[in-house]
Structure 1
Amino acid sequence: MKVFKLIIIVIVVILSACKDANVTQQPSLVTTVQTQLTKRADVTRLHEIPAVFLAENRANLSFQLSGTINQSLVKIGEHVQQNQILMSLYNPNISPALNTNMARLESIQAQIAQAQRDVARLAELRKNNSASKTAFELKETSLKDLIAQKKAVKAQISLALANQSEATIKAPFAGTIVTIDAQVGEFVRSGQVVMAIYQQDMLEVEVNLTLQLWDNISLDDNIAGIYNGEIIEFRVVELAQVADAKSHLMKVIFKLTSSIDNAVGQQVTLQFPQMYQAVYQLPLEVIVDDGINKPYIFTVVNNIAVKHYIEPLFIDNGYIVFGSDADIQNPVVIKGQSRISAGTKLQVAQ
């Protein structure tokens, strides 16, 4: 009996100890966090897009007939004047064709002069019935044929002269020779590019923009750029109306409003501001995003943690700009959010 009572006493003591231990080890049900208020505001995002300076006036030059280069009169980097002869070629068919037709023209003109005299003489003889009507008409027909031949030969001469002019390339405008792709003695085909010329003092850039950025600009708008650490200005001169089929981007051409020496091929950064209206901005670490669920923040409502889902827009310098369907009127948890979940009781640190 005494042993039984002793066992009962031990069990009671152990249970009492366990109860005391549970009371002392029970964790706190209130989590301390830091909060701040936030409100909607307009935010401007600056998109920086690299581009390369191009000559506004640039031309790839070629001959319009085949032949062998016999003269190259300029060098790469040389500045040339408008209509200056740059290169010429030899085509063996040009001079013979021209010389042959010139000789034919001279012969035909002599025949026409004689035929005109014969027609005049027969016309006088016809007055006295000394010449037949048939002879007169035959001579008139012969004269008309000669005149038609003269016209055809002149057309051939004009073509030969045109071909002769095509045997030389002239500068279409004052500019700088940037490439020479054919050398003296080389055979080139009609339409083959043999050199390129740029007008260095008039510059532009071509940029492919997303539809969202393209929609924010119009013809003649001014856009800022950064070149060698300095701000320069461009003007919109061309706006594509159809997106590229592969990239789905819109091509836009901007003309530099000032002048920069030796900048063709150099990189410049264009700046495109984009306005976001009535959005929120908070430190990036405030956002809870597990990569599976929609990103959210915690707000404090009556000292209880409440999830508030957001629509991220962009991140800039450690801050996230986001939209929200509902206004965020309650304080936002900015520190301690990793230790809480929806429904957690909160204590806001002062």
Structure 2
Amino acid sequence: MRRIQARHWGWLVPVAAVVAIMVACSGREAQVEVRPVTVRTAPVLAGEDLAPLRFAGVVRARQRAELTFQVSGTLHERPAEIGQPVVAGDLMARLRNPQLIPARDSARARIRETDAQLRQAEQEYQRAVTLRERGVLSEQDLEQLLARRDALEAGRATAQAALAEADQLLRESELRAPFAGTVEAVLAEPGEFVAAGQPVLRLSSALGLEVEVRIPEILRTSLKPGDRLTVWRVMERGSEPLTGVVTEIGRGSRRGELYPLVVSLDDPSLAPGVSVEVGVPRGRREALALPVLAVFRSSEGPAVFRVRDNIAERVPVTVLQLAGEQVLVSGEALSADDQVVYAGLTRLVSGDRVTVIGQVAASDQVGTMDQLESSQ
């Protein structure tokens, strides 16, 4: 009887073992499913909060000039030296040309000669008028004398013009300061031959400063004269930023070239030659910015994983523009200050619980000139 009971209940042993194994496996699977995925996130930035792109330039004087002679010759004298302050009219350099003084003297002599001939022609004409009234001289002879006098008057006017030109060329042999300022550079030394139009000195005024940078077309269209831009000193990163005013914007450019942008600077602490960076705001203010690594492609199109309450959620986006390490996007379900995953995407599925181990601050997402140029 006992043997029969043992047979009757013996089949329960393997069944219980199988049930125990299944329970253990399901417990392990539950543990795997609830384990959060480790990710890194970055904030979504609104277009108006994007850091401006920085373009490098060198401060220069607003009023500046390269002084040149209008005639060629040997540089005879150059009183001006580098760094010397000058006022308008000061002698900067003098040229020697052996042809200038003889040309002036020749023009003067030509005027004296013409004056003498003109006086004689006038006297002859007056006598001829008297003779014509007496009937001694013909009308044709009188007209010839009148024509000769008129020709001499025209010759005198030509001689006076030649003298004025000679005097002007002689004055051009002296180089004088057109405005008050400081000598920035000396480009020729006494004894050297200087061609007409060759720069000899560079002069700048201390009345105002400016900086010129080159920007791409996408940023040029969003600027206008009078706009205020932020300017940073390159060698003093910890100093307070300055403010500049847009004065000129290039409207034409050759293919592939950047457009000139001139910014006026009135800070007394600056000087010509100081390296600065000009911050130009981005043109797409309505777009959202986030790291390029946060965007992934799927069968449904580009998307990102947004993290809220430690839950990752897939959000579709539309890519508008690449800008180096950032991308400008639009999306109805995405807004500024949302946190998106940029590291750990391959292990994520929408709805997964996540653990954030690192976040990128908004101030760290700074655009640079190289980033924008690489996106063109």
Residue number in structure 2 paired with 1:24:
24
String of CA shifts for 1:194-249, please: whole Å, max 9, x gaps: 111111331011122233433332211222323451333211111222345223x3
Whether contact under 8 Å (1:33, 1:337) holds in the other structure is no
CA positional deviation for 1:265: 0.8
1:1-350 equivalence runs, <5 A: 24-25=24-25, 26-28=28-30, 30-33=33-36, 43-47=48-52, 48-227=54-233, 228=236, 229-247=239-257, 249-260=258-269, 263-274=271-282, 276-277=285-286, 279=288, 287=294, 294=302, 296-297=304-305, 307-310=314-317, 323-328=329-334, 340-342=347-349
Summarize the Cα distance change of 1:280–1:232 in structure 2 as closer, same or farther, 3 Å threshold.
closer
Give distance in 1, aligned partners of 2:142 and 2:266.
75
Distance 1:173 1:52 in 2: 23
Residues paired across the two proteins, number: 328
Q: CA RMSD in A?
A: 4.3
Contact between 1:33 and 1:335, CA under 8 Å: does it hold in 2?
A: no
Q: 1:156 to 1:285 in 2, by over 3 A?
A: closer
CA distance in 2 between partners of 1:32 and 1:286 (Å):
24
After superposition, the C-alpha distances for 1:271-318 in whole angstroms (9 at most, x for unaligned) are: 33447447477xx7994759xx956216689x99653344677999x9
Q: Is the 8 A contact 1:43 1:276 kept in 2?
A: yes
Q: Is the 8 A contact 1:43 1:279 kept in 2?
A: no
State TM-score, norm by structure 2: 0.71
Partner secondary structure for residue 270 of structure 1:
strand
- Cα deviation for residue 260 of structure 1 reads 4.0
Percent identity between the two aligned chains: 23
Amino acid in the other structure paired with 2:157:
K
Identify if the C-alpha distance between structure 1 residues 106 and 297 changes in structure 2 by more than 3 Å, giving closer, same or farther: same
Mean Cα deviation higher: 44-53 or 196-205: 44-53
Match of 1:3 in 2: none
State the distance in 2 between where 1:65 and 1:235 align: 39
